[in-house]
């Protein structure tokens, strides 16, 4: 898939289910972008896309904004650690890690329906959730694919009343994680702007329209598509770098 088309569908997928980087990150690799640069470039593009997604869920964000401040704080700290760790990882080692990271994210997404909690009268986060979100943010700054899926798993225990509310909080956190990770990537000059700029604009459109209109897609169908894409990309990259 061409990076531009991948960016649009990735932005839409991230807004409603997560897993968009299963499309956009491999598309950059197939376009010939080195793995670490592809990861940083994908981060830049998806950051803009998640801004569109967050705007698409503006009603839910306004309702649950009280939950966001502590989660944003731990997300910023964790993401910065993850991004800096990526920059000191040898490129060949990171390439070998890619299929394992894809496999991990796909497995978590497939298992996430079993991670549920009944809605609470006042949604809240326990201390352990903040700690787990910090670890998720480290992963997000380091790799990113499947990050939204992991956050939805954590948010399933917050007592939020609907998947749309969980997605709204998740998208705001994604903006924070991708945005702070972009700072060291830009300083280190590993972002390929030939792809990042057009993909960012396209992902922005995909994220907004995905949030506003694609929420009507049956969740089992969207989940099945993400799992299929993740499994396919995992097999492809295990084969490519075996």
Total domains in the fold of the chain: 1
What's the domain range around 36?
3-240
Short-list 173, 159, 174, CA closest to 125: 159
181-208: b (≥16 Cβ within 10 Å) or e: bbebbeebebbbeebbeebbbbbbbbbb
pLDDT digits (tens, 9 = 90+) for 206-227: 877 876 666 666 767 767 777 7
For residues 93 and 112, which has the higher predicted lDDT (pLDDT)?
93
| Residue 163 C-alpha from the chain's centroid | 16
CA angle, 110 then 111 then 116, to 5°: 125
- Which H or E run includes 38? helix 35-56
Can you give the pTM of this predicted structure? Answer: 0.80
The two three-digit tokens of residue 25, written as one number: 């990150």
Per the CB < 8 A criterion, the answer to whether 213 and 11 are in contact is no
Position 205 pLDDT exceeds 80: yes
């Amino acid at each position: 898939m061409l990076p531009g088309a991948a960016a649009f569908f990735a932005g839409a997928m991230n807004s409603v289910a997560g897993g968009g980087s299963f499309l956009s990150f491999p598309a950059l690799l197939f376009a010939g972008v080195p793995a670490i640069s592809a990861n940083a470039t994908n981060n830049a593009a998806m950051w803009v896309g998640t801004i569109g997604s967050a705007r698409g869920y503006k009603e839910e964000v306004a309702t649950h904004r009280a939950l966001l401040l502590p989660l944003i704080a731990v997300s910023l700290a964790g993401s910065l650690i993850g991004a800096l760790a990526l920059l000191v990882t040898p490129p060949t080692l990171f390439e070998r890690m890619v299929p394992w990271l894809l496999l991990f994210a796909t497995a978590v997404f497939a298992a996430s329906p079993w991670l549920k909690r009944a809605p609470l009268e006042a949604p809240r986060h326990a201390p352990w959730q903040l700690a787990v979100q910090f670890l998720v943010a480290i992963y997000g700054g380091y790799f990113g694919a499947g990050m939204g899926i992991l956050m939805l798993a954590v948010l399933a225990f917050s007592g939020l009343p609907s998947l749309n509310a969980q997605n709204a909080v998740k998208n705001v956190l994604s903006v924070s994680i991708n945005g702070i990770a972009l700072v060291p990537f830009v300083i280190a000059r590993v972002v390929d702007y030939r792809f990042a700029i057009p993909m960012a604009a396209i992902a922005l459109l995909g994220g907004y329209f995905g949030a506003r209109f694609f929420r009507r897609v049956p969740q089992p169908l969207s989940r099945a598509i993400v799992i299929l894409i993740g499994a396919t990309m995992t097999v492809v990259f295990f084969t490519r770098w075996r």
